[in-house]
């Protein structure tokens, strides 16, 4: 794992824009709607009984809710008939019957609410389970991806799929399933109830549907591009804010405040324009729908009044019908919105499944394993590692069309200190990545004690090595936990012993909490030099057979470097060590120096031998002191 960094522009959806917007936001469309939904249904298939229960409860809740206006209309009719009876000298209003009707109505609504609550609770559980499983699969996938994927994909992009896309998927999944059921059930149920009251009025109400759909389509068509731009510009704003926050010190140091504000204003103005247009157009939806509905009410009231006057329709039925018409337009809007919600669901799931479909590291078939038990004898397939390393005509390129390591060959005996030097871009760190099999060679082979590294499992192979690189690897947690990451079963005493060997113990005891001090997210509550000392202590604790040091003391002062060098000398005794160094004065005592240039070893030998040759290494060594004297 590496030290956390600000995601920067790679994360297109940041904290300001997480999750789907409410209302009619079209969102991003999926390229393969059917394929994405099919894969998503595969995840839902594990919970098909719960989904069926949600569908049943949602339908029942809608049915009970739809019956309400009809029953309330009966109460209105009973009240109206009672008033007429009082005027004509009859017994008057029967409040007992009206009370029974209202009590039955309250019970109906309570049962509807109960079923609605249960289906919401169950569906929320299903969507959270799907999100949980997707995040688990993504986390496992991250550990199976080759390092090359992360070299070509920004951290923000990966984080966006783990957080924003899964969150969007969870929310829209929860909305889409329940809304499809309730909207369709409500539409069908309301229309049936309207037919039971009056087929003539129902035909008038049906005229609202095509007009409403036409208006919905027109608004969606015109607002969609603005919603798309809104998400795009929101990503620009988030990316800029994250970059400025992550690189705040650099921005301040180079006086970039004004340029930063100008860039933010540009993105923010674009976001404002797109957001204003999208919200304004979508805000027209309900006023237009209400206008059409009100026109329908006028026609229904006129026609219903004439039918009531003719005795073919009860007064309560007119009231119930108007309630149904008022409710009829709402599921129409929801049905139109469902298509957008499904598009959002498919788009989010497509990004997640694209990530899960990325090519993984080549399946390994271990031929040999490492014997860690000193009491067991070695066999052909299980042996104690000595630390002999051989590079046999290695060819490699991150892109197969562009080879950067050309015919690299070297034999390193166990227990030797090997220094790899050369100018920037010569291929020094690349060799280390190949040694640990972060990448596989294009041609040739790398052997450990005569065995090709491809014959080991990756975990077995990497357990041989201890690494200390220029970049510090610290995580959120205590100092004790960060050092113990080198060997998780180490005791506190072993951790402290490793810390003392790396010159860490003294400064840790001066910190608040000592070894129990918690490092923050960026590990910025300790200095860069202290962070590097901690990574060295972690490498010491792991007790590796092969040690890799890539400018391990580049961030510490000269006095601390001398102390660390002494500790490193003790650590490297009996171990094969690869030291990548730019300060050549630190590797003069190496058993072998490999001088690299343009992916090839141009010279090799001890410091004295190479200096006597007066070649590339000698020029490189002398140039460092020339710069100092200049």
Confidence at residue 144, expressed as pLDDT on a 0 to 100 scale? 85
Closest by CA to 236, choosing from 30, 16, 22, 19, is: 16
SS3 of 100, please? Answer: helix
Asked if pLDDT for residue 567 goes beyond 70, the answer is no
Q: Is 257 or 566 the better-scoring residue by pLDDT?
A: 257
For 247-269, what is the mean pLDDT? 85
State the pLDDT at residue 480.
92
Which tops the pLDDT comparison, 600 or 18? 600
Cα–Cα distances (Å) from 497 to 55, 116, 502, 546, 562, in that order, read 62, 62, 9, 20, 19
Is the pLDDT at 579 greater than 70? The verdict is yes
Average pLDDT, the chain: 78
Q: Which single residue is written with the structure tokens 């391990």? A: 552
Beta strands in 129-222 (DSSP E): none
Helix locations, 357-445, DSSP H: 428-435
pLDDT in tens, 546-556: 888 877 666 56
- Whole-angstrom Cα distance, residue 269 to residue 431? 48
**199 pLDDT more than 80:** yes
pLDDT for res 553: 64
Q: Starting from the edge strand earliest in sequence, which strands make up the sheet with 443-448, in order?
A: 405-412, 389-396, 443-448, 451-452
Token readout for 424 is 């920037």
Res 14: pLDDT: 35
pLDDT at position 6 is: 35
Please compute the mean of the pLDDT values over residues 557-580 and round it to a whole number: 74
Q: Give the pLDDT score at 258.
A: 87
Name the token pair of 369.
């394993």
Q: Which of 20-24, 174-178, 411-415 has the lowest mean pLDDT?
A: 20-24
DSSP state at residue 163: I
Q: Which two tokens stand for residue 19?
A: 């999750």
Mean pLDDT of 195-219: 80
**Comparing C-alpha atoms, which of 44, 156, 126, 145 is closest to residue 356?**
145
- Kindly report, residue by residue over 292-309, the tens digit of the pLDDT: 777 877 888 888 888 877
pLDDT tier at 269 (50, 70, 90 boundaries)?
very high
Instruction: Supply the pLDDT for residue 384.
Output: 82
User: Is 262 in a helix, a strand, or coil?
Assistant: helix
Query: Tokens for 36?
Result: 């994405």
Other residues' Cβ atoms within 10 Å of the Cβ of residue 509: 11
* 2: pLDDT strictly greater than 60: no
Q: What beta strand segments (E) does 81-170 contain?
A: none
Interaxial angle between packed helices 285-309 and 257-283, expressed in degrees from 0 to 180 and rounded to the nearest 10: 10
- Position 336 scores a pLDDT of 64
- For the beta carbon of residue 331, count every other beta carbon within 10 angstroms: 21
DSSP H or E segment with residue 552: none
- Asked if 395 and 599 count as a contact pair (C-beta separation under 8 A), the reply is no
Work out the percent of the chain whose per-residue pLDDT is above 90.
3
CA distance 414 to 545: 9
| Residue 262 structure tokens | 């100008």
| Position 445 confidence tier, pLDDT thresholds 50, 70, 90 | very high
pTM above 0.85, yes or no: no
pLDDT at 618 over 60: yes
More confident residue, 630 or 273: 273
CA 346 to mean position of chain CA atoms: 16
For β-strands 600-605 and 443-448, DSSP reports them as: unpaired
- The per-residue pLDDT for 70 is 76
When pLDDT is averaged across residues 94-109 and rounded to a whole number, the result is 84
Res 600 pLDDT > 70: yes
The yes-or-no verdict on residue 43 having pLDDT over 80 is: no
Read off φ and ψ for residue 391, nearest 5 degrees: -100, 115
pLDDT at 496: 92
How buried is 473 (Cβ within 10 angstroms: 0-12 exposed, 13-18 middle, 19+ buried)?
middle
The phi and psi torsions of 351 (rounded to 5 degrees) equal: -65, -40
Report the candidate in 184, 183, 206, 182 with the shortest Cα–Cα distance to residue 194.
Answer: 206
What is the distance between the alpha carbons of residues 395 and 602, in angstroms, rounded to a whole number? 15
Higher pLDDT, 438 or 2: 438
Q: How far apart are CA 567 and CA 504, in angstroms?
A: 11
Bridge-based pairing of strands 546-550 and 576-580 is parallel
Structure tokens at 152: 């070509």
Q: If residue 202 lies in a helix (H) or strand (E), which one and from where to where?
A: helix 199-206
Lowest mean pLDDT among 454-463, 495-504, 517-526: 517-526
Task: Report the first-to-last Cα separation within the chain, whole angstroms.
Answer: 41
Residue 548 to residue 571: CA distance in whole angstroms: 12
Query: Which tens digit of pLDDT belongs to each residue from 310-368?
Result: 777 777 777 778 777 777 767 766 776 676 677 677 777 888 888 888 888 877 778 88
Nearest-10 Cα torsion for 554, 557, 562, 567: -60
pLDDT, mean of residues 195-203: 83
Mean pLDDT of the region 497-507: 85
Residue 404 DSSP class:
-
Whether the pLDDT of residue 25 is over 80: the answer is no
Higher-scoring residue by pLDDT: 206, 393: 393
> What does the pLDDT look like over 135-184, one tens digit per residue?
888 888 888 888 778 877 766 677 777 777 788 787 777 777 777 777 77
Q: What is the widest separation between alpha-carbon atoms in the chain? A: 130
Residue 16, pLDDT score: 36
Count of CB atoms situated within 10 Å of the CB of 173: 25
State the SS3 of 556-583.
CCHHHHHHHHHHHHHHHCCCEEEEECCC
CB of 240 closer than 8 Å to CB of 269:
no
* Percentage of the residues of the chain whose pLDDT score is greater than 70: 87
Tens of pLDDT along 480-497?
Answer: 998 998 888 889 999 999
Judge contact between 388 and 439, C-beta under 8 A. no
Given this model, what pLDDT does residue 8 score?
36
CB atoms within 10 A of CB 34: 9
Contacts (Cβ under 8 Å, ≥6 apart) of 99 = none
**Residue 120 burial (CB < 10 Å; 0-12/13-18/19+)?**
middle
Closest CA to 324 of 426, 478, 237, 194: 194
Q: How far apart are CA 218 and CA 124, in angstroms?
A: 33
Q: Which residues contact 114 (CB under 8 A, 6 or more apart)?
A: none
Q: Is 419 left (phi over 0), alpha (psi -120 to 50) or beta?
A: beta
Whole-number pLDDT of residue 372? 74
For tokens 């910190």, the residue is 511
In the prediction, which pLDDT does 33 show? 65
pLDDT > 60? residue 537:
yes
């Amino acid at each position: 794992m590496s030290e956390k960094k600000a995601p920067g522009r790679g994360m297109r959806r940041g904290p300001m824009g997480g999750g789907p917007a409410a209302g009619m936001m079209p969102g991003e469309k999926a390229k393969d709607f059917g394929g994405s939904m099919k894969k998503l249904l595969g995840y839902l298939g594990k919970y098909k009984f719960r989904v069926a229960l949600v569908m049943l409860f949602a339908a029942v809740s809608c049915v009970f809710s739809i019956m309400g206006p009809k029953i309330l209309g009966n109460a209105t009719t009973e009240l109206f008939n009672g008033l007429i009876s009082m005027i004509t000298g009859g017994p008057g209003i029967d409040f007992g019957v009206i009370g029974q009707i209202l009590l039955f109505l309250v019970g109906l609504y309570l049962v509807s609410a109960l079923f609605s609550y249960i289906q919401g609770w169950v569906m929320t559980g299903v969507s959270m389970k799907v999100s949980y499983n997707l995040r688990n699969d993504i986390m496992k996938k991250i550990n199976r991806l080759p390092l090359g994927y992360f070299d070509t994909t920004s951290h923000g992009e990966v984080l966006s799929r783990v957080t924003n896309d899964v969150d969007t998927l969870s929310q829209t999944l929860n909305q889409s399933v329940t809304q499809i059921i309730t909207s369709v059930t409500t539409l069908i149920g309301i229309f049936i109830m309207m037919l039971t009251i009056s087929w003539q009025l129902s035909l008038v109400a049906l005229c609202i549907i095509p007009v409403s759909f036409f208006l919905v389509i027109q608004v969606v068509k015109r607002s969609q591009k603005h919603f798309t731009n809104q998400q795009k510009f929101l990503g620009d704003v988030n990316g800029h804010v994250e970059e400025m926050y992550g690189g705040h010190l650099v921005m301040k140091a180079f006086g970039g405040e004004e340029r930063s504000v100008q860039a933010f204003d540009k993105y923010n103005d674009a976001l404002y324009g797109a957001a204003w247009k999208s919200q304004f157009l979508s805000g027209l939806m309900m006023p237009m729908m209400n206008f059409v509905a009100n026109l329908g009410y006028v026609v229904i009231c006129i026609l219903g009044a004439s039918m009531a006057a003719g005795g073919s329709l009860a007064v309560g039925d007119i009231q119930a019908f108007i309630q149904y018409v008022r409710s009829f337009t709402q599921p129409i809007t929801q049905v139109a919105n469902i298509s957008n919600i499904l598009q959002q669901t498919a788009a989010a799931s497509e990004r997640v499944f694209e990530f899960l479909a990325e090519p993984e590291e080549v399946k390994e078939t271990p031929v040999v394993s490492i014997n860690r038990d000193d009491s067991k004898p070695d066999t052909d397939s299980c042996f104690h590692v000595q630390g002999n390393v051989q590079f046999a005509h290695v060819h490699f390129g991150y892109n197969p069309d562009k080879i950067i390591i050309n015919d690299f060959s070297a034999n390193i005996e166990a227990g030797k200190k090997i220094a790899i030097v050369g100018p920037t871009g010569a291929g020094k760190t690349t060799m280390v990545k190949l040694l640990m099999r972060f990448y596989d060679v294009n041609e040739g082979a790398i052997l450990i004690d005569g065995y090709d590294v491809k014959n080991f499992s990756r975990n077995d192979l990497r357990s041989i090595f201890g690494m200390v690189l220029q970049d510090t690897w610290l995580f959120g947690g205590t100092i004790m936990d960060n050092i113990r990451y080198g060997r998780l079963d180490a005791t506190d005493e072993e951790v402290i012993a490793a810390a003392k060997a790396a010159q860490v113990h003294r400064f840790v005891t001066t910190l608040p909490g000592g070894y129990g001090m918690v490092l923050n997210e960026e590990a910025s509550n300790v200095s860069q030099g202290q962070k590097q000392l901690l990574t060295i202590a972690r490498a010491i604790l792991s007790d590796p057979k092969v040690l890799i040091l890539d400018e391990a003391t580049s961030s510490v002062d000269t006095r601390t470097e001398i102390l660390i060098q002494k500790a490193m000398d003790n650590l490297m005794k009996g171990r094969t060590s690869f030291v990548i160094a730019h300060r050549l004065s630190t590797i003069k005592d190496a058993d072998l120096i490999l001088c690299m240039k343009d992916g090839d070893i141009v010279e090799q030998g001890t410091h004295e031998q190479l200096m006597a040759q007066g070649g590339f290494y000698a020029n490189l060594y002398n140039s460092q002191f020339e710069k100092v004297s200049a």
